[in-house]
Chain A
Amino acid sequence: MLKQLAIKELRESLGLLALATLCAIGIIGPLMGKAVLPWGGSSKAWYPFVNDMHLSSQAMAFGAFALVLGLKQTAYESHQGTFRFLLHRPLARNKFFVVKMLVGTTAVLAVNAFMIGIYGWWSASAGNHASPYFWSMTIPSWKLSGNLVLVYLGGFLSGVRPAKWIGTRLVPAVFSIVCAILVYACPWWWASLTVWLVTATALLTAIFYYVQTSDQ
């Protein structure tokens, strides 16, 4: 049953995933000197991974994806009424949401990995650009994807927690974004890791609390 549940969650996320993949292509295309959109494009390729230019695009595009995905799996499904089809099935309530979060987290990481992978592979291939490249230069991007998981969980919590939209509904999402920025800004790696862990724990605890107590 968990397999069927995971498949269902994945299929419901496909639309957003496709959109995010297109955004990924839209980001790295110009960076590779290829015109993705008819009016975009650049005359020369940027030096990849050097000045973290791509990071802001990555953060914005995939951050938005993570947030929206988190909300879609929770608030949107609740709004559609299908929780009343799903949650009375013979499975512990928490497990439904664990599966959702696993699928969601994987999707967020996958879309980031896709971008980093393609861009990195292009950068590593000889003849594409005139600058040194080491795979270790992709580390900031990977770190960013870890932070985006926090944003995803923030969106998820916002969806699960009952509150007014014109009000405090999105507070958890904002909180997670702030924490993600904090993680990024920490000068020492152990401080970043601690903040990340604390934030993730806080978000997950709150998520399971609201999963158990909120009405459908």
Chain B
Amino acid sequence: MTHVIETHRLTKHYGSQRVVDCLNLNVEQGQVYGFLGRNGAGKSTTIKMLLGMVRPDSGSAELLGEPVSELAPATRERIAYIAEGHPLYNWMTIGEAVRFTKAFYSCWNSELVEQILDHFELSRRQKLRRLSNGQRAQVSLALAVAPEPELLILDDPTLGLDTVVRRDFLESLIQIIHRKGRTILFSSHILGDVERVADRIGIMVDGVLRVDCPTDRFRESVKKLVLSFSGPAPEEVSCPGLVNSWNLGTELELVLVGYDETQRAAVEALEPRNIEVVDLNLEEAFIEYTRGRKRSLPLFATEESHAQAIGDQGAA
């Protein structure tokens, strides 16, 4: 299995902040890799460094076996990139954009471009500035896949697209996946889309790649535990793999990665009245994992005290 994307301790600072911190990312040929993380986690900067748009402060990256800093033009022909926002020359018409882009590549699938334009009812004479976001996205994708690239790197390609258009884009992506041997790295905020399409996900948190595993494995390993206590719940608990905890009066919610004997023992040692293990879907797992310490909203505090007051009345 060859690595199509490989980074070695890739690092970038902006000012005093480490936006990407010693990143070791590896994507194998044929994989569809979903690159996730909250805004500002470093996904876009990483992608830009992969394409040579931004220079790393230290570390290196390789695409298709060649260092990014010295990518030969012939290799660049095999790599497609769509930057955030689908940048295009707005003054061009679709036809001009096709003619312009085509001139850079020795291999160009004109039929494919025709098919895509026909399917979305786009005329070559339309000016790019007059297209909707969804139409721009499709033109952008058409221009990216026409050279039959082996590697596609897409930076948040469905940003700003409405639900229907997003589905169109995903369908196009599936078609691309069907052509064997293609590798796709894409970043996204729509976890549902990622679950559909990605074989493997990577989650960036504060510049560090904290998760890098098959999509299902991540989802299965993040578990939420709701511990009910007869008295007040403990404020803190220490437990391997603990990602987050939230004290709700008589209940303690824990988010754990991996749930095995050690953790079960640690949890049972707290002597709760009841332990409920909740499975999460990908979006919930992602949220719990990347949320950071929860601060209770003022709203919840009043609800709690109201509930407690009623509870006290009952007891009395």
- Asked if chains A and B are in direct contact (CB within 8 A), the reply is yes
Q: A69-108, CB under 8 A of B: which get 1 and which 0?
A: 0000000000011111101111111000000000000000
Kindly list chain A residues whose C-beta atoms are within 8 Å of the C-beta of B81.
Answer: 84, 88
By beta carbon, the residue of chain A nearest B54 is A215
Shortest Cβ distance from residue A110 to the other chain B in the assembled complex, whole angstroms: 21
B85 within 8 A of A: yes
A52 within 8 A of B: no
Say whether, besides A1-B103, A90-B104, A215-B54, A85 and B83 are in contact (CB < 8 Å). yes
Count of inter-chain pairs, beta carbons less than 8 A: 61
Q: In the complex, A1 Cα to B48 Cα: how many Å?
A: 24
Kindly list chain A residues whose C-beta atoms are within 8 Å of the C-beta of B54.
Answer: 215-216
Cβ-defined partner of A84 (8 Å) among B83, B100, B101, B103: B83
What total of chain B residues lie within 8 Å of the partner, measured CB to CB?
A: 25
Q: In the complex, A12 Cα to B96 Cα: how many Å?
A: 13
Contact B53 A90 (CB under 8 A): no
- Kindly specify which of B70-78, B110-118, B293-301 makes contact with the partner chain: B70-78
Kindly list chain A residues whose C-beta atoms are within 8 Å of the C-beta of B83.
Answer: 81, 84-85
Say whether, besides A90-B74, A91-B73, A82 and B53 are in contact (CB < 8 Å). no
Q: A1-24, CB under 8 A of B: which get 1 and which 0?
A: 101110010011000000000000
Kindly list chain B residues whose C-beta atoms are within 8 Å of the C-beta of A90.
Answer: 73-77, 104-105
Q: In the complex, A32 Cα to B276 Cα: how many Å?
A: 93
Could you tell me which residues of chain B, from 46 to 74, have a CB within 8 Å of some CB in chain A?
Answer: 48, 51-55, 73-74
What total of chain A residues lie within 8 Å of the partner, measured CB to CB?
A: 23
Contact A84 B55 (CB under 8 A): no
Say whether, besides A213-B55, A215-B54, A216-B54, A85 and B76 are in contact (CB < 8 Å). no
B73, B103, B105 interface centre (most CB from chain A within 10 Å): B103
Say whether, besides A87-B53, A90-B73, A1 and B104 are in contact (CB < 8 Å). yes
Contact A216 B74 (CB under 8 A): no
Shortest Cβ distance from residue B13 to the other chain A in the assembled complex, whole angstroms: 12
Q: In the complex, A177 Cα to B52 Cα: how many Å?
A: 33
Cβ-defined partner of B53 (8 Å) among A8, A11, A88, A89: A88
B87 within 8 A of A: yes
Q: In the complex, A81 Cα to B91 Cα: how many Å?
A: 14
Q: Which 6 interchain pairs have the tightest Cβ spacing?
A: A84-B83, A4-B103, A90-B73, A90-B76, A1-B103, A216-B53
List 8 extra interface pairs beyond A90-B105, A216-B53, CB under 8 A. Answer: A11-B91, A81-B83, A84-B81, A84-B83, A85-B83, A88-B76, A90-B75, A91-B76
> Which residues of A are interface residues toward B (Cβ below 8 A)?
1, 3-5, 8, 11-12, 80-85, 87-93, 213, 215-216
